[in-house]
Structure 1
Amino acid sequence: MEFKSLFTGTLRLFIKRIVTLILFNLVGCLLCFTIVLIPTVMAGLMRGMLRYAREGTEPKFGELLRFDGFLQTLLLMVVGGMAISIGLMLLIVPGVVLMVWWMYALFFIADRKMTFGQAMGASKRMVSDGGFWNHFVVLLILAVLNGLGGGLGGLGVLITAPFGLLLMTNAYLASIREITPENCSL
Structure 2
Amino acid sequence: MTERVIPDAGVCLRDGWTLYKQEPWLLSGATILLGVICGVVGLIPFAGALVYPPLLAGLYSMIIRLERGETITISNLFDGFQFFIPLIIASILMSIFISIGLFLLVLPGLYLVIVYGFTNLMIIDKKMDFWPAMEASRKLIHANFWRYAVLAFVLMLICIAGSIPMGLGLIVTVPLCLAAQYRFYRAVS
TM-score interval, smaller chain: 0.7 to 0.9
Amino acid paired to 1:27: L
Which residue of the partner structure matches residue 8 of structure 1? 14
Residue of 39, 43, 60 corresponding to 2:73:
60
* 2:110 match: 96
Given candidates 122, 126, 131, the residue that maps to 1:112 is 126
* Aligned partners of 1:39 and 1:73 also within 8 Å: yes
Match of 1:135 in 2: 148
Q: Deviations over 1:94-129 (max 9, x none)?
A: 111001111001101111111111001100111123
**Deviating 4+ runs (over 4 angstroms):** none
Over the aligned positions, Cα root-mean-square deviation in angstroms equals: 1.6
Aligned-residue offset at 1:151:
1.7
- More relative contact order, 1 or 2 (CA 8 Å, 6+ apart): 2
How far did residue 161 of structure 1 move? 1.1
Deviates more, 1:12-21 or 1:67-76: 12-21
Post-superposition offset of 1:52: 1.2
Instruction: Measure, in 2, the Cα distance between the counterparts of 1:133 and 1:126.
Output: 12
Q: Is 1:147 equivalent to 2:160 in the alignment?
A: yes
Residue 83 of structure 1 aligns with an amino acid whose one-letter code is F
For residues 39 and 11 of structure 1, the distance between their equivalents in structure 2, rounded to whole angstroms, comes to 23
Deviation at 1:74, TM superposition (A): 0.3
Provide the TM-score with structure 1 as the length reference.
0.86
1:32 aligns with 2:45: no
Q: State the alpha-carbon separation in 1 of the partners of residues 186 and 85 from structure 2.
A: 24
- Name 1:44's counterpart in structure 2: 58
Checking the alignment, whether the CA contact within 8 Å between 2:7 and 2:184 is kept in structure 1 is no
Q: Distance in 2 between matches of 1:45 and 1:175?
A: 20
Sequence identity (%): 25
2:175 maps to 1:162: yes
Instruction: Single out whichever of 7-16 and 102-111 deviates more from structure 2.
Output: 7-16
SS at match of 2:68: helix
Distance 1:152 1:30 in 2: 17
* Corresponding pairs, count: 174
- Aligned residue among 64, 68, 75 for 2:89: 75
Match of 1:183 in 2: none
Query: Distance in 2 between the 1:103 and 1:86 partners?
Result: 17
Q: Does the aligned pair in 1 maintain the 2:26–2:74 contact within 8 Å?
A: no
What runs of 5+ residues in structure 1 fail to find an aligned partner? 177-186
CA distance in 2, matches of 1:143, 1:5: 16
